[in-house]
Structure 1
C-alpha cells in the first residue's frame, strides 16, 4: 500500500458548540489515515458544549499548527463566535494556508463572517440557511456542498456525510467506502421527519415555536456581522 500523505485537521472550539458537529466528522476524518486532529480554542480551558459536557482544546490560537483541513462546527455559541475578533482572525489565518476550508451546520456562517464564502456555493442548517447570502455565499439546499476547496455540510448529522465526502475527495472513493463500512454508517431513522420537506406540519410548528424566542436576536447578530464584513471589505 502506498504511503499516505500526512494531514492535519483543525476544528474550532467555542463555548456552546454542538459537539456532534465536531465529533461526527472528526471520527470520519481520523480514518483518512496519517491524520492528526487538533481542537483549537482561544484558551486551553475546557470548552462547554451544548450537550452539557466539555471538550478539551489541544492548542490555542497562538499555538496551533497550520492545518491542511480547517473545519468550523456549529451550535448556539456561533452567535458569540462571529463577534469575537480573535476567533475570526485565527480562522482567516488558518484558512489562508489550508488545502480545505470547511464547516458543518451553522459553522458556515462563521466562515461567511470571516469573509471566506464570498462567491462560493454553501449550505448550513436549514433553519439558518437564509443568512448565507448576506455573507456573499450562494445558498444551496443540499446535505453537503462542494465548491473548489470549500466544503460545507448541513445540520449536525450531515457532518458524517460531509466527512465521507471529504475523505472521498482526498483519498478516493474506495477509501471512503471502506471508512463508511468500518463505521457501520447505514442510517435508517425511526421517523421520516429529518428535514422540513419531510416533517409533518405539527412537528414543524413545534420546532418553530421552540426556536422563535431566540431567532430575532440571532437574526440581528448575523445581520450585524454581515454589515461589519461589508464595512471591512470597503474600508
Structure 2
C-alpha cells in the first residue's frame, strides 16, 4: 500500500504522465491514419502490377516492391528516424515533437502495411476476379467491389498489426525528441533511474496495445461475412 501511495503521489508521474499520454496518442493517431491512407492504395498497386496481375507492369513493380518497399523495411526504425530528420524539418519545420515524429513513423509503417495489403489481396481466390471480369467489371470496379470487400477482415487485422507496431516505434521516437511515453521513460525512468516511471510507462504501453488489439479483433469479426 505504501508503494502504491508513493506511486500515485510521484510528482514526475503527476506532471509528466498526462502530456506524455496525449503526445503518444497524437503520434499514433496521425501516423496510423496517414499509413492507411497511403499504404492501402500502395498495396493495391503492388497487387495489380505484379507479374500475372490485372495490370502487369514489371518496371513499376520492380520500382515499388524490391526497391521502395523492401529497402525501406530493411532499415531499423532508429536509423531511419535519424536519417529522416532533414526531411522532417523540411516538411513540418521542426525535427522534435509528436508531429515531427509522425513523419518518420508514417514512412516506416507505410511499406510494412502495403505489404500486408498485398498479401491480403493475394489470398482472394482468382475465380472471384475472373467472375467480376466476365460480368464486365472494370479494373477499378473489381478492386472496389470485389478485392477490397473480400479482403476486409484481413485488411482490418493488418491495420491492427500496423498500429501496434507504430505504438512500439513511437516509444523509440521519444529517444530523439519525439515526445510521448518513450521520452518520459527514457529521460526519467532510465537516465534518472526512476523505476516507478519506467514501470508505469511500460504498463500503459501494454494496456494501449491490448486495447488496440481488442478493438481490431472485434472489428475484423464484425466485417467478416464469409
Question: TM-score range with shorter-chain normalisation?
Answer: under 0.3
Q: Which has the higher contact order (CA 8 A, sep 6+)?
A: 2
Provide the TM-score with structure 1 as the length reference. 0.23
Q: Which has the larger radius of gyration?
A: 2
Greater share of helix: 2
**What's the TM-score once normalised by structure 2's chain length?**
0.24
